[in-house]
């Protein structure tokens, strides 16, 4: 039986600058939040699977973030590291309700 998931209110959308990652901690998990230029909010596990780089500090381009340590390109939508590298980070469902970002964990 899968553990029940919980929707948690995190931050006001207006306090999350576009194209700048923000690391948050929920239930002991480090999660990187990103407010994209298209208005979407994406949330992924905050550590690069290669060497543990802090993805919230990476450079955002479109729907991707580049790890600040070794420039791995990671999809903010699927969590997949792009070729020629490989790996994956956890993705989290996000929703904006009444101006606040919520994530499901």
The per-residue pLDDT for 5 is: 86
What is the reported pLDDT for 3? 64
Which domains, ranges and CATH numbers included, belong to the chain? Answer: 7-104 (2.102.10.10)
Measured distance between the N- and C-terminal CA atoms of the chain, rounded to whole angstroms: 16
pLDDT in tens, the chain (105 residues): 556 788 999 999 999 999 999 999 998 999 999 999 999 999 999 999 999 999 999 999 999 999 999 999 999 999 999 999 999 999 999 999 999 999 998
**Residue 86, pLDDT score:** 93
9 CB-contact burial (10 Å; exposed 0-12 / middle 13-18 / buried 19+): exposed
pLDDT at 89: 97
Q: What is the pLDDT of residue 47?
A: 95
Whole-number Å distance between alpha carbons of 26 and 56: 15
């Amino acid at each position: 039986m899968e553990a029940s998931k919980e929707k948690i209110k995190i931050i006001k959308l207006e306090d999350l600058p576009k194209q700048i990652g923000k690391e948050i901690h929920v239930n002991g998990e480090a999660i990187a939040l990103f407010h994209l230029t298209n208005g979407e909010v994406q949330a992924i596990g905050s550590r690069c699977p290669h060497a543990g780089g802090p993805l919230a500090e990476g450079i955002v381009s479109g729907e991707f973030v580049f790890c600040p340590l070794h420039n791995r390109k990671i999809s903010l939508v699927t969590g997949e590291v792009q070729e020629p590298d490989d790996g994956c980070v956890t993705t989290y469902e996000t929703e904006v309700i009444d101006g606040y970002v919520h994530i499901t964990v």
